[in-house]
Every structure is written in structure tokens, then in C-alpha cells.
Amino acid sequence: MSEHVQTQVGSGGQAVGQVGGQIGAQVGAPVDVQASEPLFNPLSPDFIRDPYPHYERLRNSDPMHVSAHGAFVASRHAEVSQVLRDKRFGKDFVERSIRRYGPQIMDEPIFRSMSHWMLQQDPPDHTRLRGLVVKAFTARRVEDMRPRIQAIVDETIDAVADQGHMDLIEDFAFRLPVTIICDMLGIPEEHREVFYKSSRGGGRILDPVPLTPEEIAEANMVNAMTKMYFEQLFELRRRSPGDDLTTQLIQAEEAGDKLSNEEMTANIILLFGAGHETTVNLIGNGLLALYRNPDQLALLRANPSLIANAIEEFLRYDSSVQMTGRVALEDIEDLGGKPIPKGENVLCLLGSANRDPAVYPQRPDLLDITRPNVKPLSFGGGIHFCLGAQLARIEAEVAISTLLRRLPELKLDDPENPKWRPTFVLRGLKQLPASW
């Protein structure tokens, strides 16, 4: 059967948002942030460049701060991890969006599509949707992908090895997660070039600052193009089923009561976006942190078996997802000293919780790949705990350890002035030029 499907996705890779620095501040030391600055201004260039002094100020002065947009901002590990696991908090996506933008917001295709993501659903719908795909992400299934992951990383390095120069984001980190999620979704090889070439824009949709009408229009356009591609992929996989997640969801949809067509499309788009941007940024942020800390780089080179712990430390030190949120489903008497009325938003600063000295008493602002008991909140917690956590860990492990082994002379061109993407929730680099 022909695998012909038009690949007119345009910048489809950004559909879901698609889904560090050497820190001078030490625990207890004065934080170098102007006292007059708002405590939480997450899209300001200074915050994007280095959010960690801002987090320290929040934790020390107002750990359940109320933001300019009226949300409670939880910055300590205790409250963040409680909210993620507490059943009195949920997503309440439709009500939350209507409260912020007015009832007409649910006429916007991007908001309607997001309302079907498992990531934005509460039980019982969340349980049903997650149950349909969870088996593809078990530790065993993901471990079986290791040889394929290794082969992709080796091919990527083969393609640039003679050049002596590359952008570690575009030429290295990007290709692996996109290829793996395309494999998992059954996207034929000949359709992939458009995804490899797509610009890594978007991401603003996840930030806790309301979108402008222009940003909503742009997100609608990207969503429409991505939907158009996936609808054609559904047609292909109906005619020609494969051993992939798309075929699995089509079969569940055809069975009748398991999921609707809209839910299928929305969740495939979610998986596509969540499955790559975050992992590109884990690899990029991890490499930046490592090369800015030459002692840790030397340690990892001398002891490659430290890689698994190093990945946990990279996740903790400069997470590629900085925040998620919940809504109080009932009046909460006390969270970190404040009452939270029903319907109020709580922003959970994962990146701040990961540096909380209450949990990491040994200099949380230092990168230490031998740190014991690193349990970052970067993959969230509770019922929405990241489905792709183990996959992302293995991809980053193989990518970073292979790069160190195969290009031992590699150096970053300008480690002190990295170019960050302008989004807050998804924290990652625009580019990271390196030479060898």
C-alpha cells in the first residue's frame, strides 16, 4: 500500500508548544535581584536568562506569592510537591480558560484541542485517555529502544564529525527526539523532513501570562496545519495498520466508546509536541551546565558510569520544564500559610522546588553529578507524572555520553552568553554553537 500522505505541516513541529547557567548565588547569600523588581515576572529577559536568583527571592520572602495575574505562585518544594499529588487540586481546564479569557475562548480551535489533551484533563477522562497509551512507555518497552537511540545518535555525529563545528541544538539535540517520536507514532520516514526542518517557535501557549489575540491566531494556524497532517496519517494507518501508537488509538476509536475522534487527534498532537521539545532542551541545558563546570565535565569523562546520576542532576539543576499548574477544586484552608479559595490557580515552580535548600542542603545552586538522592520534580508528580520520563532519560543518557566519547575535543564557542528561547515554562536554548 502506498504511504503517500501530503506533508504540508509547515511549522508543525511547534504544535504543542508546541509541549544552566553557572549560578553565583549561594544558599543564604544575598540574591542579586533588584528589590524594586516584581517578585514574579517570568517573561522578563532577566528572568529568562537566569530564573534562579528570582526563585530564591520568592522562596525566602513570599513562598505563596500572588502574581500580577492573580495566581498563587508556589516556589518551595513542600507546597509544589503537595499540590501535584493532592486530589483537592486538578486541571479544570475549560473553567480556568473561561475565567481568564471569557466564555468565547472555547470557540478558539487551539483551546478546544487542548481541552482534550490528557495533560489538561481530570479523572475519569484523564484515567481513560492515559490508560490507552501508557503501555507504550513502560520501562521495559523504552529500554528496548536503546539500540535504536544509539544508532540515531551515532548517525547524527557521523554526519557532522568532519565539519569541526556544529550547533548542538539544531544539528545534534533536535534530531534524536523527533526521530524517536516519529517512530512511536508511525510517521513514515519519507514524511519526516518537514518535522526536522520545522522551526522551534511556539511554547508561549504554556506560559502563565495571557496570550495576545495575535498569539492565539498563530497557535490556531499551527494547530490547523498539524491537525491536517495527522488526519491524513490516520487515513493511512486505517488502510495500513502498523505497530505504532497512532494505529493503537485508531483501533481504540473504532471500538466505539474508548475515545472520540477529537480526543484522538488532540492527544496524538500532544504526544508529538511533548515528546521532543522537552528532550531537546534537556540535552541542550545539560550540555551547557556540564561545559560551564569543567570539573564536572572531567569527572564524567573519567567515570562514564556516572551518566545516569548526571542526567538526574541536569534535570534538577536546569529543568527543561520550569512550571506546571493546578486549580483548587474546593476551598483549601491552608497551603504554605495561605487559604486558597476554590477556583484559584496555583502555579507550581518545578525549577524552584529543585533548588530548595530544605531538600538539597548541600549547595543546591551548584552542579554536582555525584549528588546523592536527587529526585527532581522536573517530570511533575501524581497522576499526570510525565509519561515520557524514562524515554527522555535514556535519550539524554545516550546522546550526552556518546558525544563526550566521540568528540572529546568539543568546546562551546561562547558558554558565558547562551541564547535562551523567550519562553518560561519550556526552558531551552535557541542555539549552542560548538567546535572541535
Does residue number 249 form part of the binding site for ligand HEM (CB under 6 A)?
Answer: no
Report whether 73 contacts 42 (CB < 8 A).
Answer: no
For 10: left if phi > 0, alpha if psi spans -120 to 50, otherwise beta; the answer is left
Pick one of 378, 397, 427, 428: the residue that binds ligand HEM (CB under 6 A). 378
Helix axes 175-185, 277-291, angle to 10 degrees: 150
d(CA 285, CA 432): 9
d(CA 376, CA 34): 28
User: Nearest to residue 112, comparing CAs of 266, 215, 229?
Assistant: 266
Place of cell 519562553: 423
d(CA 122, CA 382): 12
Site string for ligand HEM, 171-200 (x = CB under 6 A): ----------x-------------------
> Which CB atom, from 81 or from 296, has the smaller least distance to ligand HEM?
81
Site string for ligand HEM, 310-349 (x = CB under 6 A): ---------xxx--x-------------------------
Does residue number 132 form part of the binding site for ligand HEM (CB under 6 A)?
Answer: no
Number of H helices, E strands in the chain: 18, 12
Report whether 54 contacts 40 (CB < 8 A).
Answer: yes
Pick one of 387, 410, 426, 432: the residue that binds ligand HEM (CB under 6 A). 387
In the 8-state DSSP scheme, what is residue 26? P
Segment 206-235, which members bind ligand HEM (CB under 6 A)?
A: none
Q: How far is the CB of 390 from ligand HEM (least distance, A)?
A: 9
Segment 18-47, which members bind ligand HEM (CB under 6 A)?
A: none
User: Nearest to residue 112, comparing CAs of 98, 100, 126?
Assistant: 98
- Encoded amino acid at 404, one letter: L
> Which CB atom, from 202 or from 380, has the smaller least distance to ligand HEM?
380
* Piece of the chain touching ligand HEM by CB under 6 A; list 56-64, 146-154, 237-245, 267-275: 267-275
d(CA 108, CA 125): 21
Does residue number 426 form part of the binding site for ligand HEM (CB under 6 A)?
Answer: no
> Which CB atom, from 234 or from 314, has the smaller least distance to ligand HEM?
314
Q: How far is the CB of 271 from ligand HEM (least distance, A)?
A: 6
Place of cell 545539560: 286
d(CA 265, CA 209): 26
Site string for ligand HEM, 78-107 (x = CB under 6 A): ------x-----------------------
CA 73, 78, 84, 88 torsion: positive or negative? negative
Does residue number 118 form part of the binding site for ligand HEM (CB under 6 A)?
Answer: yes
Pick one of 119, 185, 216, 289: the residue that binds ligand HEM (CB under 6 A). 119
SS3 (DSSP) at 328: strand
Across the strands, what pairs with 411? 435
Q: How far is the CB of 198 from ligand HEM (least distance, A)?
A: 17
d(CA 228, CA 109): 13
- Which residue has the closest beta carbon to ligand HEM? 388
Count of residues touching ligand HEM (by CB under 6 A): 25
> Which CB atom, from 53 or from 275, has the smaller least distance to ligand HEM?
275
Q: How far is the CB of 14 from ligand HEM (least distance, A)?
A: 16
Pick one of 42, 388, 415, 428: the residue that binds ligand HEM (CB under 6 A). 388
SS3 (DSSP) at 378: coil
Site string for ligand HEM, 272-301 (x = CB under 6 A): --xx--xx--x-------------------
User: Contact residues for ligand HEM (CB under 6 A)?
Assistant: 84, 118-119, 130, 181, 270-271, 274-275, 278-279, 282, 319-321, 324, 378-380, 384, 386-388, 391-392
